[in-house]
Amino acid sequence: MTAWLIKTFLLCVLNVAAALLLSPLCEGILRKLRATIHSRVGPPVSQPFWDIFKLLGKEDLRSTGGLVYAALPALTLGSVLLLAALVPIGTGAPLSFAGDLIVVLYVAAISSVLMMLTGFGSGSPYAAIGSSREMIMLLTVEPVMAIALAVGAFKARTLTLGGIANWQVQNGPSISMAIGGVAFFLALQAVAGKLPFDIAEADQEIMGGLLIEQSGPRLAMFRWAIWTKQLVLAFLLVEVFFPWPHFGVYPADLLATLVKVMALLVLVTVIDVVNPRLRIDQAMGYYMRVAVSSLAALAFAVIGK
């Protein structure tokens, strides 16, 4: 019992540490890639680490009070780290006994909701607009993620992520899971806050949107949470929808996953760089079409493909 407890605890720590430490590095690599496509040198790869370090040392200027408002950044980062412990990274998720794919979906949504609350609570009209846009995005993108994961659950006859991944490894690729994977990828573009869907967070049109009033350590935590969420959901996508090749040996599996995750994030960034931002109503329309099309995946799953 104790051995299992220790093993679970260590795996949790490993997952959380991997998510926390790898995400600024990932972000740095992606910024460098973005800069290269822009024909410029760009910041060094370690820049996000320096950004967090600098922000943690700055003054915390809070425009409104309240205990809940003060705790929101930490809660957001915490929820993303919880998501990291629920998602398989290299091997089975350490907390998979505590939650299956439905819990994962909800925990993924918590961080968006918390950021929305921050926006509404900060009192700036620009943040309010950013928050309302984030709400619309969440409502439109969640169903797509849910449908994609539901396809996996249907095929594998289980609700646990590890179960779906194992089923995939045993049964090889299938059309329905491929469509589901693509749908989840499109949803990832929005959840990671990348163009053409970065409508809520980094909106130059409304001066920074959601996070406009956050500064210092609060901003550091929000930014870290966004980067980590992007990485963790990429892990989720790769582990559940594209788990091949599977070695059975933890270090090799981890390495393979990391390579696939980097390739995925590179694709996300390339799409980000060659697109302008869409308006919220256009993004909504787009995701509704994606949701309807991904129902085709369910249809394929039903007929056994």
Partner 1 sequence: MSTVNQATVKRVKETVAARCNGSLLAATEPHADTLHFTIDKTSMRSVVESLVNGFQARFMISIGTDSRPLTGDFGILHLFSLDRDHLYILIESHASDKDLSVPSITEIIPGANWAEREFRDAVGVHPEGHPDPRRLLLADDWPEGVFPLRRDFPYNYQPPPAEKANPQLREPPPGASVMPMGPFFPVLEEPAYWRLFVEGETIVGCDTRLFYNHRGIEKLGDSVLTYNEIPYLAERICGICGFIHSTCYCQAVEKAAAISVPRRARYIRTIMLELERIHSHLLWLGIAGHIIGFDTVLMQTWRIREPLMWLCEEISGNRKTYGMNTVGGLRRDFPDALKPKLLETLAEVEKEAIAVREAIIGDPTLHARTRGVGVLTNDWAKKICVVGPPARASGVAIDARIDHPYAAYDEIPPRIATQEPGDTWSRVVVRVTELLESIRLVRDAVWAIPEGPICAEIKKEIPPGRVGVSVVEAPRGEAIHFVLTGGDNRPYRWRVRAPTYPNLQAMPAMIANANIADVPITLGSLDPCFSCTERLETVDRKTNSVRVYSHAELLEISRRKASSGASSPTARRGGSQ
Partner 2 sequence: MFLSKLREALICLRAGRVTLKYPFAPQEPKPGFRGKVTINADLCFGCGGCANVCPAGVIVVSDKEQYLRTLEFFWRRCTYCGKCEEVCPEKAVRLSPQFETATNAPQDMYMRLDVFMGPCQRCGRCFPPPTVLDRMMKTGFREGLGGGRA
Report if residue 273 touches partner 1, rule: CB under 8 A. Answer: yes
Contacts with partner 1 in 193-222 (CB under 8 A)?
195-196, 198, 203-207
Distance of CA 194 to the CA centre of its chain: 11
Compare residues 39 and 170 and give the one whose CB is closer to partner 2: 39
Compare residues 124 and 168 and give the one whose CB is closer to partner 1: 124
Are residues 184 and 237 in contact, defined by beta-carbon separation less than 8 angstroms? yes
Query: Rule CB under 8 A: which residues touch partner 2?
Result: 36-41, 270, 273-275
Q: Which of 83, 210, 219, 280 binds partner 1 (CB under 8 A)?
A: 280
Structure tokens at 104: 């994962």
Structure tokens at 135: 């709400």
Long-range contacts of residues 259-266, Cβ cutoff 8 Å, at least 24 apart: 261/26, 261/231, 261/234, 261/235, 262/26, 262/29, 264/185, 264/234, 264/237, 264/238, 265/26, 265/29, 265/30, 265/230, 265/231, 265/234, 266/30, 266/33
Structure tokens at 239: 């582990």
Least distance in angstroms from the C-beta of 267 to partner 2: 12
Compare residues 2 and 204 and give the one whose CB is closer to partner 1: 204
Other beta carbons within 10 Å of 46: 12
Least distance in angstroms from the C-beta of 203 to partner 2: 22
From partner 1, partner 2, none, interface partner of 270 (C-beta below 5 to 8 A by class): partner 2
Report if residue 39 touches partner 1, rule: CB under 8 A. Answer: yes
Given the rule CB under 8 A, which residues bind partner 1? 37-40, 125-126, 129, 195-196, 198, 203-207, 273-282
